[in-house]
Amino acid sequence: MNVNQKSFPMKNPIIVALDVDTRDRAIELADGLTDIVGGFKVGPRLCLRYGEDLIREVAARGPVFVDNKHFDIPSTMIASVRASFDAGASLVTVHALSGREALFKMALLEKELNQIRPFRILAVTVLTSWDQSSLPSVMTAQPISQHVVDLARLVQSSGLQGIVCSPHELDLLQNMNLYLVTPGIRFSMDDLGDQKRVMGPEQAIRRGANALVVGRPIIDAKNPVETATEYVMALYEKK
């Protein structure tokens, strides 16, 4: 398996979530990890403090995944995704629950922006911090796995190919020609934090993930470079 090609536009499948509060710490981590990991994820925690300048700074060190999970009227989503692209993002998230019209317009926008440089819009299905017991009451009539499959089909029929799901749903999404990004990646000895549907990196890749998001196990480690290297090397271990 050529993991670099599989995870493009990331350099390899490991995306480090820069879930920190300061620009200096985010840049320090990015500087130390740029030659090891496939890219970096930034979300509202940093974007609301530092805006597009921070996205540009991180993008100078590696591909950036802007994870603000846009869920709004289509025109606002279009403007927000375009702004992230202009700041240097290679991946951006929207919510699959935003509906067919919004997702169709996202697919048109993705096609347009790909004429400039490689870019993917990912549709978030069900958060990995949820399990069946914590689903909103309006969603409890069917299992999480069915919600993810239904949303994935909606995304695909709208013209997008990128999905964010937990590793537990990867088996259900095979043969759909989707680009699958999975948070909730942990070694067995790692603290789960608020993640509930988790899996190891090598197992998630074998089940079809294109890219894996790892945050606290790396950024909170005593030696983030060493820990990130362990995650990357796990993808090359003999099956």
Classify 190 as helix, strand or coil: coil
CA 27 to chain centre: 19
**Alpha-carbon distance 187 to 171, whole Å?**
20
Give yes or no for a contact between 208 and 11, defined as CB atoms under 8 angstroms apart.
Answer: no
* Dihedral-angle region of residue 69 (phi above 0 means left; psi in -120 to 50 means alpha; beta otherwise): left
Burial-class residue 155 by CB neighbours within 10 Å (0-12, 13-18, 19+): buried
Classify 179 as helix, strand or coil: strand
**Alpha-carbon distance 101 to 114, whole Å?**
20
Exactly one of 69, 111, 222, 238 is catalytic; name it. 69
Distances (CA, A) of 208 to 22, 82, 155, 165, 199: 34, 29, 18, 12, 13
Instruction: Tell me if residue 69 is catalytic.
Output: yes
Q: Enumerate the active-site residues.
A: 69
